Amino acid sequence: MTARRISAIASMCDLNGGSDMSGFRMVWLLLALGCGWIGQAQAQGLLILCYHEISQAQARQDDESVDVDALARQLEWLRGAGFRFVSLDDAMAASAGGPALPDKSVLLSFDDGYRSVYTQVYPVLKAFRAPALIGLVGSWLSPPEGGRVNFAGVKVPRDDFLSWGQIREMQASGLVEVANHTFDLHYGIQANPQGNLLPAASSARYDPASGSYESHGQFLARVERDLARNSALLRQKLGRAPRAMVWPYGSYTREAAAIAAKLGMPAMLTLDDGVNGPDVPLSALRRVLVGADMSLADFARLVQASQRWPQGIAPRPERAMPLSLDDIYDPDPAKQEEKLGKALDRVKEMGASIVYLKAFHDQDGDGVARQLYFPNSHLPMRADLFNRAAWQLDSRVGVEVYAWLPVDGLRLPPPALLDVYRELGRAGRFRGLLFRGEGLPPAGAPAMGGRDALQLRLAEAVRESNPRLKAASGLDGDALLSGAADDDWRRMLAEYDRVEVSATPRQAAGGNADDWLRRLQRKVAETPGALEKTVFELPSVDPRSGKPVPAETLAGWMRELNGWGVRQMAYYPGLPDSDAAGWRTLRRAFSLAETPR
């Protein structure tokens, strides 16, 4: 966490009359600041592996069920590769300033409390002397032996899950620690009018009968009641309350995390990728999910990659394309769904990895957002569509969604801006936030310390509901080439997760547009690591003439950039739907499925 980001969190107090830093936000700030918990001698940090069902090969039931022999081979490989099995207690001691974790530390975790944890996993743990953490769902353990459990809407035998006697035996061994996995929030809750089911521990419930959402206070109270109930049950049955929270589906909010901390669970496990280095707080531990069909070679590559790259995440090329909810909206719900389906198909066909989802309606093209596509307290809502589109893009197409909302074009004072961005965060689950200037003076920016300070504070407001959110901000390519933006460039690389550089090739005297693009690429490449964080945004419409850029020209620029080692590309605003040939041409140069990596 950078100093500016910490300052952005702290400054919420002043921007909201001193009240925002009370309660949950203060708890989260304290959690976020206490993040240097891994011993400094460790290069990469703690690797946490996430398993679910473990079974005999012939008895495998689902895509997450790992064969017990495969588990044993994986642990043997880890031991042979020099990894050290550690416990949650070891990690928490290191967090509190105790002995640093050894190099190549690994913690095993098993979610959901299947009976196979006792019958299959426990013997393996004893053989390797490997500690483990198990996440238990109270409502699945409450029915009597021989009863039935409501497992995601399906009635399954209670005997599929651990008995209390088995849990007590494993806990008494000292090898197994029990974590809270909620009492009854391990399911999808209706979270929009269209009926999408989102994780219940991080989403507000939508009631189709009344056509309304539960309030934010009701959401927090529901989460707190559930976590407290499960902790009380585990304390009653096992003699001790859990110290760790395992979020169902890895989905949580900062305020939910503050609730867990208040209830005595400072350690929290997510499904965010990567390893846990000094910058990762104990309250947001990352885990690597082990798949059912993973060969030993695949497992070894996965673990080795986690040790090779910063944060345990290998850099990857990205392709970003825009999608405007204006192009999907229709007053007829059936037609709107049809348009959304076609948009999803287009994104999939193009092979994009990121979608910039425009969440506002600009009625007259003047850059001012007068209507939004999500519930909020300051501007009219044209339609409750953002949540639906973002979830469908994520779950059906598998792309990361970056919400695009104009800071300048909202024309709101600072407290209202924070309200709207905070409400955007509550309106859905998404991975990023795109800041793109609309050519208007940034309302409230001077009062908030300038444009970057304003944007970073707004990003923190969204992170209250989407903690792993990435922030991207734009920079003019001409300004970067001229040297006029050098200071801004260095600052943005440090403060943002991505920098969007407008790459509008210009034909200089005695040269051509490709020369301009090559000079821009070289300018970016001069800064170590900048190519991994810089998105080259190419125009599909010439901003000077307003005429469309031929698809072959745009595709040619993409091929040039790819050949020069550029890994992150985007285009804006796109081609007309009727230009089928142009889309095909563009796809061949843009798609990650067709472009050499």
Domain regions of the chain by residue span: 47-308, 318-590
Range with the poorest average pLDDT among 289-303, 357-371, 382-396:
357-371
Residue 595 pLDDT grade (very low, low, confident, very high; cuts 50, 70, 90): low
Residue type, 394: D
Per-residue pLDDT, 196: 98
CATH superfamily of 318-590: Glycosidases (3.20.20.80)
- The number of beta carbons lying within 10 Å of the beta carbon of residue 217 is 8
Written out in words, the top-level CATH class of the domain with range 47-308 is: alpha beta
Res 58 pLDDT > 60: no
Angstrom distance (rounded) from CA 358 to CA 324: 5
Q: pLDDT tens-digit profile of 207-256?
A: 999 999 999 999 999 999 999 999 999 999 999 999 999 999 999 999 99
Q: Does the fold of domain 318-590 match that of domain 47-308? A: yes
- pLDDT at position 482 over 60: yes
Q: State how far the Cα of 580 lies from the Cα of 349, in Å rounded to an integer.
A: 12
| CA nearest neighbour of 23 among 264, 261, 205 | 261
Query: What's the distance, CA 200 to chain centroid?
Result: 16
Sign of the C-alpha dihedral computed for residues 67, 69, 72 and 73 taken in this order: negative
- State how far the Cα of 268 lies from the Cα of 250, in Å rounded to an integer: 10
Reported as a pLDDT band with limits 50, 70 and 90, residue 1 is: very low
Would you state the pLDDT for residue 509? 42
Is 555 or 363 the better-scoring residue by pLDDT?
A: 555
Mean pLDDT rounded to a whole number for the chain? 89
Q: Which residue has the tokens 């800071």?
A: 407
pTM given for the model: 0.90
Residues 6+ positions from 13 with CB-CB distance below 8 Å: 19, 20, 21
Give the three-state DSSP class for 573: coil
